[in-house]
Structure 1
């Protein structure tokens, strides 16, 4: 009997410009290449060309209709989207059937903390999990994020996706609690740190004394904030700009970080408003590069969840501009729970006060982060051990 390679698919909004999503993919690929080098891996994802070029795996476009995430206002676009939903039923099932295991690597796939339509990614995830159940392919939601969802259609799609998956683990306890509250049996589901914590920590670069990294976001609130999205964005941008201007007036270098292509507009607005050569923009294209940026700084203030992870993993004292409970939970787990500030209501004076307190405790907080990162590494080893036991107990064989 000759053993054939186990066929593993990875699924999600990967290669679409979000560094956090791609970092989760990179973490799972690192695990597969280390523990299951014989596996044949490919992806069904948002940016197949990017994923193939960067990660050297075959990739297929997630949606048949190329304009899936553009607003459809004309009849042709509406018809295209509707037809795409039907075509994707067949495409997804055919792709899933070719695999022994499909992994959804991390990401907030069971939440709606940012604006989200039910017939976009929630529908695609439901098709994946339903297809896996129908054709006998194990679908694993690995280290994912979840949160309470008010919209009934989105909540139903997310709930059924989770129920149909063969394996689930979460990146924090509140995610597991949210799924339990939505009617999912989570008795056997485990909680482990975010997959991005398993990425290699880059070598410490030359420090830049006095530098502060400020991670920004094209933030307009969440799914339930659509009516006041413009107001939330203006307050976030104004408060963050005033905070950066104060740092510059104190003679500090400020390095602006992003985590998604959409954030570039916020970077441009802050640089133009402050008008100082002390404010520069990072061109980091991966979480590893973001970690190098945060490791070279004295301190970090950041909004995006994976900007926070990069800063915390690099051991740099960090303050969160928190837009969701997941950020508060992460900061608390890493020993910095006192250093959260609401992204919806940025108060630059209070933010500056918290920042100065953070810097006064810098040495103490660096020690805390070093200890917490060791514990996180042990927990992620347990995640990957559990994943192997759940998904790869008996590798398939053929008779050739």
Structure 2
């Protein structure tokens, strides 16, 4: 397993959990470990050995001093050797879900895109199958990032995407996608919360927030975008409270805590509480207990839709619109960059009027999604674990 796993992003970890569930059910003989962002968390939570993705521990801190700049530069060289040595010990490396082929949030080419390129290049060099499974992709303007992402995708032995937009984006960037498949997001393969509708406080609304500053191309106006998002979301929460509605704030990444704190400070009411979710399963339980969900992060939306709760999306990328459309709620999207609290309230009330109908729609779409994900795992088995190929993975991993 490879990726920014165990680093505080619940969506990334949920994708890992879904693939681990598949491996344990269908390929219990597989010897599994990870090269990831948070090895201690991955080992403690999922019971697999894990190695730190980057040699330099300050990889994702801003480098402003000579020492930190030198450390990052040296780390890039050391990581070539470390990644190659790790890849060489494996028969298969799976990148489980995540938006690894997109730059819809701020991203530097020498960060994760560089790491992904090292993985795919050394996989091709040593004959290790690298599989990008159910990943997200989007058109990338930055030339260096686009080149690394495109080359990584071309070098991978297997690719599938979480939506058709992702496959189209890779085709537009020059990748041959003729054999690539599209399946629902891997997190939909996780166990569903108990059925039966809301079970929390009467009228409960879950509001999923995000430390949102725009995308990779919005760096010049990142603070303006963030202020507008926070102000609009806060006004929306305040309006719900004035109507007597209890509000439960949800996050999807450790960095979102600052937004929760700002809203709690601005809306001083016992009706507003914050959840402490440590996994997508926790988020699904929260959303299943709600009457309605309004959320920004992609995997907050996945959890709400999987739980069958009527959902309104504050969308920051085309992937969110595509997800809502797939699940039959395409009419209930609102731009995260331009949150208009009054308009959002109108959409929210329209959503609630159709609550019973939309719950039925989500139940039907979830049944279809489950069938489509079974096809994803069948395809993955055929590509990575053919019946006539029985590699001795344990021997390779234990060989010095």
TM-score range normalised by the length of the shorter chain: over 0.9
Q: Tell me if 1:317 matches 2:310.
A: yes
Report the CA distance between 1:208 and its aligned residue: 2.5
In structure 2, what is the Cα distance between the partners aligned to 1:66 and 1:80?
9
Query: Pick from 97, 105, 110: which aligns with 1:106?
Result: 97
Q: Tell me if 1:285 matches 2:249.
A: no
Partner of 2:398: none
Query: Pick from 116, 123, 139: which aligns with 1:148?
Result: 139
Partner of 1:306: 299
Query: Superposed, which structure 2 residues align to 1:320-399 within 5 Å?
Result: 320-393=313-386, 394-397=389-392
Partner of 1:30: 21
Task: Provide, for residues 272-295 of structure 1, a one-character-per-residue CA deviation record: whole Å limited to 9, x for no partner.
Answer: 101000000000100001000000
Q: How many residues align?
A: 390
Report the CA distance between 1:177 and its aligned residue: 0.2
Query: Pick from 68, 71, 74: which aligns with 2:62?
Result: 71
Match of 1:40, SS state, is coil
Query: Pick from 204, 223, 230: which aligns with 1:230?
Result: 223
2:308–2:362 contact (8 Å) kept in structure 1: yes
Task: Provide, for residues 242-268 of structure 1, a one-character-per-residue CA deviation record: whole Å limited to 9, x for no partner.
Answer: 000000000000000000000000000
2:135–2:162 contact (8 Å) kept in structure 1: yes
In structure 1, what is the Cα distance between the partners aligned to 2:391 and 2:211?
45
Match of 2:95, SS state, is strand
In structure 2, what is the Cα distance between the partners aligned to 1:208 and 1:238?
26
Q: Using structure 1 for the length normalisation, give the TM-score.
A: 0.97
Match of 1:21, SS state, is helix
Report the CA distance between 1:397 and its aligned residue: 4.4
Partner of 2:201: 208
Q: Give the gaps of 5 or more residues in structure 1.
A: 1-9
Query: Superposed, which structure 2 residues align to 1:107-256 within 5 Å?
Result: 107-204=98-195, 206-256=199-249
Query: Pick from 274, 284, 290: which aligns with 1:297?
Result: 290
Match of 1:363, SS state, is helix
CA RMSD of aligned residues (A): 0.9
Q: Using structure 2 for the length normalisation, give the TM-score.
A: 0.97
Report the CA distance between 1:207 and its aligned residue: 3.4
In structure 2, what is the Cα distance between the partners aligned to 1:13 and 1:206?
34
Task: Provide, for residues 102-161 of structure 1, a one-character-per-residue CA deviation record: whole Å limited to 9, x for no partner.
Answer: 000000000000000000000000000000000000000000000000000000000000
In structure 1, what is the Cα distance between the partners aligned to 2:75 and 2:277?
34
In structure 1, what is the Cα distance between the partners aligned to 2:223 and 2:156?
37
In structure 2, what is the Cα distance between the partners aligned to 1:15 and 1:198?
19
Report the CA distance between 1:209 and its aligned residue: 1.6
2:199–2:290 contact (8 Å) kept in structure 1: no
Q: Give the gaps of 5 or more residues in structure 2.
A: 396-400
